[in-house]
Amino acid sequence: MTAPAATPHKSFSLARVYAIGSNTLLELVRLKVFYFLLLFALLGIGVSFFTSKMTFQEQSQVLKHAALGMMSIFTWLLAVLATAMLLPKDIEERTLYTILAKPVPRLEYLLGKLTGVLALLAIALVVMVAMFTLVLYAQQQSALAAVASQLAPGPDLEAARQQVRADTFTANLVPGIALIYVKAAVCAAVTLLLSTFASSAIFTIIVSVMVFIIGHVQPIAREYLMITEKGASELARFFLGLVALLIPDMRAFTLLDDLAVAIPFELFMQTAGLGVLYVTVYFLVGYLVFAGKEL
């Protein structure tokens, strides 16, 4: 009896990337990472109680700032914690051997892992946005009812209603939330890069947190470099230049300091494009490290 014939090989397969990505998502879901969303819901309820004595505009501002801040923190935490344990776990439990013994290029393995985490972040953010929207909508309805009870039907009432609606769902919320996702994606890519050469998940997490913090103070370092160019030592300038090159500017993704100001479309696209570039570069560097790694 003859053995099966030789199998042709596809050098790159989206199906393989999808298989690894969906498996990664399933792994993270079965680890019950979504339970943290309960915490988000509880915090949202807490904010509502805290602001119950404020005016509608004040309530709306506080809720938006609090919700967006929490979304940013939670997605960042999820990105770092979920990504940090993926590779070390596969290496320690040696599931990586079984996968790479199949015709799976290391590029596809790593891309699948990153895709799985990005899918998890998207789902988590969608759930948080849904909760946030519900609370905002409830607030809006409450404000509309209050306005209707205070004003007689007529143009003034209609104008007041329009104002309530305009103050609730402002146009810059959507790009702001999109940039929260981009920022979390950048954090996930940085964490994945660190995990390709780190010896443990804890080390990866600690360094990722440091990168996140340095990323937020990096603009200050850049400004210092520009202002004190003549006075700063060569070593300091070199070090600050290296930091600016290696660590992403996290503040660039925070365009919602003033919720009343609309984010220009061009600025949004530039910022999102910068995020995609960061993710791509960090991923490719991580792949180069991983490709040469002895298992």
Residues forming contacts to another protein in the complex (CB under 8 A) are 1-4, 6-11, 13, 15-16, 18-20, 23, 26-27, 30-31, 93-105, 294-295
Least Å distance between CB 208 and another protein?
24
Token code pair at residue 153? 């039907």
Q: Nearer Cβ to another protein, position 85 or 211?
A: 85
Q: Nearer Cβ to another protein, position 4 or 231?
A: 4
Least Å distance between CB 80 and another protein?
21
Q: Nearer Cβ to another protein, position 89 or 237?
A: 89
Q: How far apart are CA 113 and CA 52, in angstroms?
A: 43
Q: Nearer Cβ to another protein, position 24 or 75?
A: 24
**How is residue 1 annotated by DSSP?**
-
**By the 8 A CB rule, do 117 and 79 touch?**
yes
Place of tokens 């990472």: 33
Closest by Cα among 185, 182, 181, 191 to 80: 191
What three-state secondary structure class fits 154? Answer: coil
Least Å distance between CB 120 and another protein?
14
Least Å distance between CB 17 and another protein?
10
Q: How far apart are CA 107 and CA 290, in angstroms?
A: 9
Q: Nearer Cβ to another protein, position 4 or 153?
A: 4
Least Å distance between CB 159 and another protein?
56
Closest by Cα among 205, 209, 232 to 221: 232
